[in-house]
């Protein structure tokens, strides 16, 4: 694969929630010398995220849930407003996001559009996140959503699109994947 990397060894540091590995390897510098380096990489699997939008009502569907890492890093109540997302597990990205959309938001969607895929934190996390958008309407709502019972407690938010964009400026929306999708919708004129 990469001829500038050799002698890779891996040590599992934690296999509790997901897998944290310490990887030690030799890396060839630009001047030709070899340097031994170590990195920790967290493998939580790949995921998918979607922004539901309605051009007629000029609204988007977002979720709000408790996120411990944000609480530990200064988010006073730990609640985070986000686009609907989930881990792929054994699903392909499209099937995963359709299932997550119904579980989290209560909407059953059939047509999704993949817009890009991103390494969200490549310095420490192996995850690739697949980004989708989809139109929604009231008649696609099957239930109140809220996530998998006894596992998640998710609030479903239907917000005016301009309000959601303003919430980025005010800091009410701080989630990177959500900001990226809101800006995608804005840049591509999906809500006009």
**What confidence tens digit (pLDDT) does each residue in 18-27 have?**
999 999 999 9
Bridge-based pairing state of the strands 47-54 and 59-66: antiparallel
- Backbone phi and psi for residue 81, each to the nearest 5 degrees, phi listed first: -90, 130
Q: How many CB atoms lie within 10 A of CB 14?
A: 12
Cα-Cα end-to-end distance for the chain = 46
What residues form DSSP beta bridges with 43?
A: 19
Least confident piece of the model among 90-94, 100-104, 134-138, 152-156: 152-156
What is the tens place of the pLDDT at every residue in 158-182?
A: 999 999 999 999 999 999 999 999 9
Q: Is residue 116 over pLDDT 70?
A: yes
Q: Contact 66/50 with Cβ under 8 angstroms?
A: no
Half-sphere exposure of 34 toward its Cβ, with a 13 Å CA cutoff? 10
Rg (CA), the chain: 19
Between 29 and 143, the higher pLDDT residue: 29
Q: How many CB atoms lie within 10 A of CB 33?
A: 8
pLDDT, mean over the chain: 95
Beta strands in 29-178 (DSSP E): 34-43, 47-54, 59-66, 79-82, 84-87, 113-119, 128-135, 155-160
User: Across-strand partners of 40?
Assistant: 22
């Amino acid at each position: 694969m990469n001829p500038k990397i050799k002698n890779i060894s891996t040590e599992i540091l934690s296999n509790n929630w997901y897998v944290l590995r310490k990887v030690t390897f030799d890396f060839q510098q630009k001047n030709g010398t070899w340097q031994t380096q170590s990195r920790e990489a967290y493998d939580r699997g790949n995921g998918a995220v979607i922004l539901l939008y309605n051009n007629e009502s000029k609204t988007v569907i977002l979720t709000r849930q408790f996120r411990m890492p944000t609480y530990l890093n200064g988010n006073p109540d730990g609640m985070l407003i986000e686009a609907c997302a989930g881990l792929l597990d054994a699903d392909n990205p499209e099937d995963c996001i359709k299932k997550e959309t119904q579980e989290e938001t209560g909407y059953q969607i059939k047509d999704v559009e993949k817009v890009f895929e991103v390494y969200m934190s490549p310095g420490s996390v192996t995850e690739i996140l697949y980004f989708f958008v989809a139109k929604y309407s009231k008649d696609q709502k099957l239930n109140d959503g809220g996530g998998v019972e006894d596992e998640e407690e998710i609030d479903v938010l239907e917000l005016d699109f301009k309000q959601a964009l303003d919430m980025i400026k005010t800091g009410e929306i701080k989630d990177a994947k959500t900001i990226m999708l809101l800006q995608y919708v804005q840049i591509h004129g999906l809500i006009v």
